[in-house]
Amino acid sequence: MPSRIDELVEAAARALAGRRRTRRDELERWGAFGAGVALLGFEPLADVFTAEDRAPHRSWRSGAYGQDEVAVCYTPLQVVATEPELARRGRTGVIVRKAPSFDAPPAPMNDGRMARVSLGTHFARQSARRAPGPGCRAPAPRPAVNGFVWGYPADDVRTNKSGWVPLEVDGVRYLADDPGYGSSPDDPERFVCGPNSKDFDCRSEASKPYCGYVCGGGHLAGFRYTGKLRRVLPTGFGEPRDSGEEYYLRWAASSTAFSYLAPDDVVFELGTKPGLSYGPHSVPWSFVEVRSGSFTPAGTRGWCLRDAFLPARKRLPAPHLQT
């Protein structure tokens, strides 16, 4: 039986798909969950986007996970149908999008082209956050929202851009289980290891040594309260720069993404801590609660690079932008 949280998120996604108004108007409706939220961020709120059916937030630290509390895994699914937009373009497969709706914008690759998973190739579906108990066991799949699931294109696709793709919408099944993925000599990898090859495959414990996965990770060392209302800034260069690493919302600092921020989103920065980005670079990470979001409902908490609030010239450039 779906939880109240799942029902709220599904209702928001249906509102996005309705498009009786402009796309911007519909996207802004995702902020409707924030009605009645106090400006300083201490009203109890449920995490309405990640399907974690838990107690309301009790403090500014609630929902601030360390890397040791994430432990997500991925399951490979094969693309078995073509979505309408790609069919109109004479192409196959599904588009990786920024929100769970066919009306949401695509998530572009670094070269500006749309991230797409072709018919017959694979998409790796993200699980829920860490399973209860010791040992970082495989959690259950993260629930679908509006028929869409979050994850990344697997190793037989040329991009690893995370986002939402359709699982089953309006009676059409777009992704199917493929338990044998990785067993053929033609498969590029034996397991799916996450978009940055730091996670593990939900199908097998054997994937952990294969992927180099270590159960545990960084805690919340250096985490301190800030309490500042912030606006997510555009880069000034448009796409694909406005879909860079700093626009991901993540489970923990230096960890796995689960949603998108967008320019002009408003968030309340609850705290910051140092962490790594783009390899060895130590940078500030912000723990935020979304107040008004284009792609993420208000009330959702997560981590983002603090660069999201800085002008582009002051941000640490991604490796492909470094000269």
* Phi, psi (degrees; rounded to nearest 5) at 5: -60, -50
Residue-wise pLDDT for 250-294, tens only, equals 999 989 999 999 999 999 999 999 987 766 778 999 999 999 999
Residue-wise pLDDT for 142-153, tens only, equals 999 999 999 999
Enumerate residues 6+ apart whose C-beta is below 8 A from 185: none
Residue 134 pLDDT grade (very low, low, confident, very high; cuts 50, 70, 90): confident
Structure tokens at 134: 């010791």
Q: For 31-58, what is the mean pLDDT?
A: 43
Q: Would you say 95 and 85 are in contact if contact means Cβ atoms under 8 Å apart?
A: yes
Residue 24 pLDDT grade (very low, low, confident, very high; cuts 50, 70, 90): very low
* Pairing between β-strand 73-79 and β-strand 200-201 as defined by DSSP bridges: parallel
The structural domains of the chain, with segments of one domain joined by +, span 1-67+218-323, 72-215
- Alpha-carbon separation of residue 144 from 150, 156, 177, 235, 255 (angstroms): 8, 23, 15, 31, 21
Q: How many CB atoms lie within 10 A of CB 236?
A: 11
Coil/strand/helix, residue 230: strand
* Pairing between β-strand 224-231 and β-strand 200-201 as defined by DSSP bridges: unpaired
Which value, to the nearest 10 degrees, does the dihedral of the CA atoms of residues 275, 279, 281, 285 take?
Answer: -30
Q: For 70-87, what is the mean pLDDT?
A: 97
Q: How many CB atoms lie within 10 A of CB 59?
A: 11
Kindly tell me if the per-residue pLDDT of 32 is higher than 60: no
Q: For 199-219, what is the mean pLDDT?
A: 92
- Residue that has been written with the tokens 């998973």 in this structure: 117
Cα–Cα distance measured from residue 110 to residue 93, given in angstroms and rounded to the nearest whole number = 20
Strand segments, DSSP code E, in 178-280 are 200-201, 224-231, 248-250, 257-260, 266-277
How confident is the model at residue 46, as a pLDDT?
36
Q: Would you say 12 and 26 are in contact if contact means Cβ atoms under 8 Å apart?
A: no
How confident is the model at residue 319, as a pLDDT?
77
